[in-house]
Amino acid sequence: MKMLLRAAGALVFLLLLFLVGSLLYSTARGYTQWYFRVSGQVIVNGEKTTGYMHANTKRTLLLLTTTDDPQPETYLIALGPEKTVFDCGDWHPVRFLPFPVGHTNAPCSIFTVSPAKVHDPPIAATLARGPNFVEFSTLFGKKVRGQW
């Protein structure tokens, strides 16, 4: 029995070591991007909410999550020169934890989000950015602002 537990423990350790090594390799090669919580405020229609934001390590993408409705809504916003904002459907990140996203299975892309799961789509033409904020309107008339 002791040998069986020792073998199982060794197998779990090797599996964990393999997973950590794979994650480190894919991060180093650029296949995986990490998103970390951004300290700031999410404002919907001029009212502060308990919403939250995450940004990738290069600060080129922002995930803004609104919590003013019972169902959280997350938007992916490009912080580069193009005006791009996507709705993430029913997916939203965990509030406090950093998380990895692979380049082939991004949770917020036009290919992975079903239009039926989009609750309040953003209007990309209304996206405004400044040095410490992003702001846009949604189809149902909400004005969403993230500032840090």
What is the full DSSP assignment across 37-85? EE--EEEETTEE-S-EEEEETTS-EEEEEE-SSSS-EEEEEE-SSS--E
- Is residue 95 located within the same domain as residue 134? yes
Q: pLDDT > 90: what percent of the chain?
A: 47
pLDDT of residue 24: 81
Same domain, 10 and 74: no
Share of residues in the chain with pLDDT > 70 (%): 97
How far apart are alpha carbons 143 and 63 in whole angstroms?
A: 16
Query: Measuring CA to CA, which residue among 63, 70, 105 is closest to residue 88?
Result: 63
DSSP code, position 27: H
Query: Which pTM value belongs to this model?
Result: 0.81
Residue 53 has pLDDT above 80, yes or no: yes
Mean pLDDT of the chain: 88
**Same domain for 41 and 21:** no
For position 111, what pLDDT does the model report?
67
- Of the pLDDT bands very low, low, confident and very high (cuts 50, 70, 90), residue 12 is very high
SS in 3 state form for 75-131?
EEEECCCCCCEEECCCCCCCCCCCEEEECCCCCCCCCCCCHHHCCCCEEEEEEEEEC
Segment 59-116, tens digit of pLDDT: 889 999 999 888 899 999 998 888 899 899 888 898 888 888 877 767 777 666 777 7
Q: Are residues 15 and 79 in the same domain?
A: no
22 and 64 inside one domain? no
* Higher pLDDT among residues 63 and 118, named by residue: 63
pLDDT score, position 110: 67
Counted domains in the chain: 2
Residue 106 CA: distances (Å) to CA of 27, 58, 116, 130: 14, 16, 18, 26
Distance CA 39, CA 19 (A): 30
The pLDDT of residue 22 is 78
Residues 48 and 102 in one domain: yes
* Domain identity same for 18 and 86: no
Q: Which domain holds residue 40?
A: 34-147
